[in-house]
Amino acid sequence: MFRKLCDLCEVKGLHIVRSLVGNFVTSLEHPELFMVQLRAILRASQGRNVGILLPMVSSSDEIREARGYLTRAQRELKNENVPFDDGVKLGIMVEVPAAAFIAERLTGEVDFMSIGTNDLSQYVMSADRCSGRVSSLCDALHPAVLHLIQLTARACHASGNGQGSVERWRGTDPLYRCCWDLESTS
């Protein structure tokens, strides 16, 4: 199922384009669509502070494959003499438990990380936040969710190169920022 291809948000002055084709694995299964997005993002980056945010990432291999496509898109645009910012940063949205558990490894592959507490809570608690029957179980303050946020935040700080941010969830962002000294909320 395809959703909106690009979702633009802003985190502390950095415009982040979130690639949304189902999930990230789906993006990699459709490289022609992924390349269209990357080329468009790169063209839009000229004169702006733009970062590319990969959603639903669960492994280093996915990041490396995405970076390969990004390099290819940059090379194509250079060959076509299309201006773009060659300093575009690549980051991931930590929203599946697998990414949080290996966040220490993933920080070496990216320029920044963002924690998606809505999806992370949903997957950790095995509760669809859109379902009236079980949505109350989707608790971003549950100890299991907080532990994964803590793992990710520590990995960001230890790496020295990963900017950590967390999306807002029911007014809890000051707690997250205070407890783990995250860069920002979005």
Structure tokens at 56: 């639903």
User: For the chain, which residues make up each domain, given as ranges?
Assistant: 1-92, 95-181
- Cβ neighbours of residue 44 under 8 Å, at least 6 residues apart? 17, 50
Residue 73 and residue 38 in contact, taking contact as beta carbons nearer than 8 Å: yes
pLDDT at res. 37: 86
Q: Phi/psi of residue 54, each to 5°? A: -95, 120
Residue 115 and residue 164 in contact, taking contact as beta carbons nearer than 8 Å: yes
- All residue ranges of the chain with pLDDT < 50 are 1-12, 15-16, 18-22, 169-171, 178, 185-186
Q: What pTM does this model have?
A: 0.78
Long-range contacts, 1-4 (Cβ 8 Å, 24+): 2/26
pLDDT at res. 24: 64
Q: Is 96 helix (H, G, I), strand (E, B) or coil?
A: coil
Give 103-117 as a DSSP string: HHHHGGG-SEEEE-H
pLDDT at res. 102: 96
Q: Is the dihedral of CA 130, 169, 18, 66 positive or negative?
A: negative
pLDDT in tens, 109-158: 998 888 888 889 888 988 877 767 777 777 888 899 989 988 988 888 88
Dist. CA 6–CA 51, nearest whole Å: 13
